[in-house]
Amino acid sequence: MTEFPSPVLFAVPFFIITILGEWWAVRTGRLNGHYGTKDAFASIAMGLGNVAINALTSAIGLAVFIYFSQFSPFHLPPTWWTLALAFVLYDFVYYWKHRFAHRMRWFWMEHVTHHSSEEYNLTTAVRQPWFGPLSGLTFLGIPLVLIGFDPLMVFFVAGLNLVYQYWIHTRVIDRMPAWFEAVMNTPSHHRVHHATNPKYLDMNYAGVFIIWDKMFGTFIEEDPDEEPVYGIVKPINSYNPIWIAYHEMIALIRDCISDGFAPVCWFMRIIKPPGWSPDGQHSCSEDIRREWLAQQAAAIERGEKAPAYIRTG
């Protein structure tokens, strides 16, 4: 296998410089945005913990990828074109990984960490989970090694993908040029993804190329008349890194305990979207959006202005 550097580790100095720069510019009123000190430090702590945990567990993930690579009928050479192809194909895989992370509670218990901040700035980008390979989400990239890509190349393009997504976590940049917005993921597109507004919930899953969302019906433009409200539907109201990392896993365990001995129900809780309930009283994104649309329609029918979204959780 060809050796590849770690894009994330190489990017750390850039992360530090740009976070400090954005923080200073926002707090002094030179740029648009918002920084809460406790929230920012909690996000940075999550990022540091993620790096430490991944350093300890990355060998497990790599070993699994290497194991599956032996079943590939051929092995693609490490060239510029295979690297470019791997980058594009990984982003396609990432779209589906990300979509599953929002649509299956088992994966959401890991990914929710990244969405738990009610701020949206560059520190939000480094608010990463502390699960390592525990949830299995990372293993959804195994098809790439089965079709012949070097496992280390897959890890490399995954790192590039993550580094790209760093800069889109900001309010400082409004819109990019139209041609760029049409093809690439941008701060505007990703602000939508981090919003809890019913209009925006579970949309814009892209990593690098927004075209996947446009292809699979999950794209929505940022509405200049509806500012995103960031965070998660049920705020955690905590800056404790351990609680940020594991609160949803604890909630899932509690819900399963409350079901009694009900393996089928436990399985359904795991594979169904966040908000699913065995009693039928769901609060999934579809239910929240449906209720919001009904309220909008009722207001219009009464001749009133449709109410703006305000999170009440």
pLDDT tens, position by position, 105-127:
999 999 999 999 999 999 999 99
pLDDT at 313 over 60: no
- Flag whether 2 is in a domain: no
pLDDT score at 304: 81
C-alpha 228/C-alpha 231 separation (Å) is 10
* Mean of the per-residue pLDDT values of the chain: 95
Q: CA–CA distance from 61 to each of 139, 154, 182, 188 (Å)?
A: 7, 11, 34, 33
Q: Residue 251 — pLDDT band, cuts 50, 70, 90?
A: very high
Q: What is the pTM of this model?
A: 0.95
pLDDT score at 300: 84
CA atoms within 13 A on the CB side of 235: 15
Quote the tokens at residue 10.
């190489």
pLDDT score at 114: 98
Residue 137 φ then ψ, to 5°: -60, -40
- Flag whether 285 is in a domain: no
Domain count, the chain: 1
Closest of 170, 173, 181, 187 to residue 211, by C-alpha: 181
pLDDT score at 299: 85
pLDDT score at 312: 58
- Flag whether 151 is in a domain: yes
- Flag whether 119 is in a domain: yes
Quote the tokens at residue 305.
């202005």
Q: What residues contact residue 278 under an 8 Å CB cut-off, 6+ apart?
A: 259, 262, 265, 268, 269
Average pLDDT over residues 166-171: 98
pLDDT score at 51: 94
- Flag whether 201 is in a domain: yes
> Cα 229 to the chain's mean position, in Å?
16
Average pLDDT over residues 52-74: 95
What tens digit of pLDDT does each residue of 66-100 get? 999 999 999 999 999 999 999 999 999 999 999 99
Average pLDDT over residues 56-68: 95
Structural domain boundaries, residue 208: 7-216
- Flag whether 279 is in a domain: no
pLDDT at 309 over 70: yes
- Flag whether 56 is in a domain: yes
Q: Provide long-range contacts, Cβ within 8 A and 24+ apart, for 182-191.
A: 182/210, 183/209, 183/210, 183/211, 184/208, 184/209, 184/210, 185/209, 185/210, 186/210, 188/221, 188/222, 189/213, 189/219, 189/222, 190/165, 191/120, 191/222, 191/228, 191/230
Q: What residues contact residue 304 under an 8 Å CB cut-off, 6+ apart?
A: none
What tens digit of pLDDT does each residue of 5-53 get? 899 999 999 999 999 999 999 999 999 999 999 999 999 999 999 999 9
Closest of 191, 210, 241, 228 to residue 95, by C-alpha: 210
- Flag whether 252 is in a domain: no
Longest Cα–Cα distance of the chain, Å, equals: 67
Quote the tokens at residue 220.
């929505």
What tens digit of pLDDT does each residue of 293-305 get? 898 888 888 888 7
Cβ–Cβ < 8 Å for 180, 292 = no
Q: Residue 311 — pLDDT band, cuts 50, 70, 90?
A: low
